[in-house]
Amino acid sequence: MSRFPFDAPVTVHPFTARRDGDEAVVGDARHQTFLAIPVDALDLLEWLAAGVTLGEAVRRYEERHGDTPEVEPFLDTLAGEGFVAPAGGAPAPPQPPSPPPPGRVWNLDRLSPATARRLLGVPVLAGCGALVVVAVVLAAGEPTVLPGPSSLAFETNFSAYLWTVMAIAAVGLFGHELAHVVGARAAGVQARIRVGNQMYAIVVQTEMSGIWLVPRRQRYLALLAGMIVDLTGAAVLVILLWLDRVGLVGYPEPVRIVLSAVLFTHFIRLLWQTFVFLRTDLYYVAVTALGTRSLMADTDAYLRNVVRRVLRRRLVDTSGVGPREMRAVRLFSVVWLAGRILALVVLVTATVPLLVYYAGRVLSLVRGEPVTGTFTWVDVLSIAAFVFVVEGGGVVMWVRSLLRARRARRQAPDRVLVE
């Protein structure tokens, strides 16, 4: 017997929805649950929410769209996400709000959208843009102010420089995510900050799923706010270093070293955001522009099918991906593969050599060999903490995420795992 009889209504819990082309997003902001469904399926859900029986809703659907919907799997999916339930029996008690994901820091729910819009208004954005333009002009005239990876190779006072630079970089990273939160509040949605990972790197991320319920043009500022803060911070550092380089001011050597190292961390953060093959800011900008909210998941299914065809195994069902989305998926699959290779190249050519450099200094210290600059056992402990906590922690989180994805695929081997 069907869970949803045609002669009975369906219990529909409160939801919000937004139509966007041939797709609609339905959301339960209270529990941070959002689903993308065909736009005509939203008609069905809205009729059920109005209290008509399932049979009447199907009749209206057939009359409007000239087709018979497959209501059973549709309602089962919605029921699994808490949007609907079979009618009858005692009403279910109200569900408490979902607990925040692991690593939650805090949110700005008390910040009004009007205030948030002022914080990211035209005067503020124009000022940020002016600073970036000035910095580009100054750097073009004096390119030596731009640091390279060697700016992180501290030959003296390693521990002091390492933790100072990391502390300042952490403040910058928090500012990046805080800007996303303010951008989300400007769009009228909730957002919260948590710790996660992107491949082998530990990252701080802003959870703002409700942004999908906002009209497309209003999403871009929330998605790009973090990069705007990074670009502005980098511009200020370039200007400060330029003032020192041309002799208008004179910083002590430790200040100059710290400013250069912090600026390079800004460059790393900005470079990371261009990695659209990961769920970075620019990835979500591309997804918004293309109108393909599940681009990463669809690309994963497409690439798995390429392998499965070679192995002559059963394919993942991608029938729900339209022709327009599939064209985007094919193009993105090339970017995805090339990007993953690039990320590993950066790991091998930049991160690993830096770690090897410091590993060599540790070995020299252990063997009693002469070391350039100063290097002590306190510095060794700092390296150990950095490698095992930061780098090692990122690798552990990456492996755990791969294992979780593998278990999820085993449970649903022939289904697209929507992000």
Q: Is the pLDDT of residue 196 over 60?
A: yes
Return the higher-pLDDT residue of 174 and 411.
Answer: 174
Neighbours of 216 (CB within 10 A): 13
The C-alpha atoms of residue 283 and residue 219 are separated, in whole angstroms, by 13
Asked whether residue 45 carries a pLDDT value surpassing 80, the answer given is yes
Counted residue by residue, the chain has a size of 419
Cα 378 from Cα 208, distance rounded (Å)? 41
Lowest model confidence (mean pLDDT) among 82-91, 154-163, 293-302, 400-409 = 400-409
Confidence of residue 417 (pLDDT cuts 50, 70, 90): very low
User: Which residue in the block uniquely carries the two structure tokens 């791969």?
Assistant: 402
Say if residue 274's pLDDT is above 60: yes
Percent of the chain scoring above 70 in pLDDT: 79
State pLDDT tens for residues 228-238.
Answer: 999 999 999 99
Q: Is the dihedral of CA 144, 148, 154, 155 positive or negative?
A: negative
Cβ(78)–Cβ(69) under 8 Å? no
Reading the block at residue 21, the tokens are 């082309």
Q: Distance (Å, rounded) from C-alpha 284 to C-alpha 292? A: 10
Of 58, 28, 29, give the one whose Cα is nearest residue 41: 58
Instruction: Give CA–CA dist 206/161, Å, rounded.
Output: 28
Contact 144, 218 (CB under 8 A): no
Average pLDDT, the chain: 80
Instruction: Give the containing element (helix H, strand E) for 359.
Output: helix 352-367
- 54-94 pLDDT, tens per residue? 888 889 988 898 888 888 888 887 887 778 888 764 334 44
- pLDDT of the residue at 413: 41
- Say how far residue 250 (Cα) sits from the centre of its chain: 40
Give the model confidence (pLDDT) of 136-152 as tens digits.
999 999 999 999 888 88
Distance CA 340, CA 352 (A): 16
Residues 338 and 332 sit within 8 Å (Cβ to Cβ): no
CA 270 – CA 291 distance, rounded (Å): 24
Q: What is the pLDDT of residues 366-398, one digit of tens each?
A: 777 776 666 676 776 676 666 666 665 666 666
Q: State residue 263's pLDDT score.
A: 96
Closest CA to 37 of 47, 27, 52, 28: 27
For residue 178, the tally of other CB atoms under 10 A from its CB is 20
Number of Cα atoms under 13 Å in the Cβ half of residue 2: 16
pTM of the model: 0.71
pLDDT digits (tens, 9 = 90+) for 316-369: 877 767 777 788 888 888 888 888 888 788 778 777 777 777 777 777 777 777
Sequence-ordered list of residues with C-beta below 8 angstroms from that of 337, at least 6 positions apart, any chain? 277, 303
247 CB burial (10 A radius; 0-12, 13-18, 19+): exposed
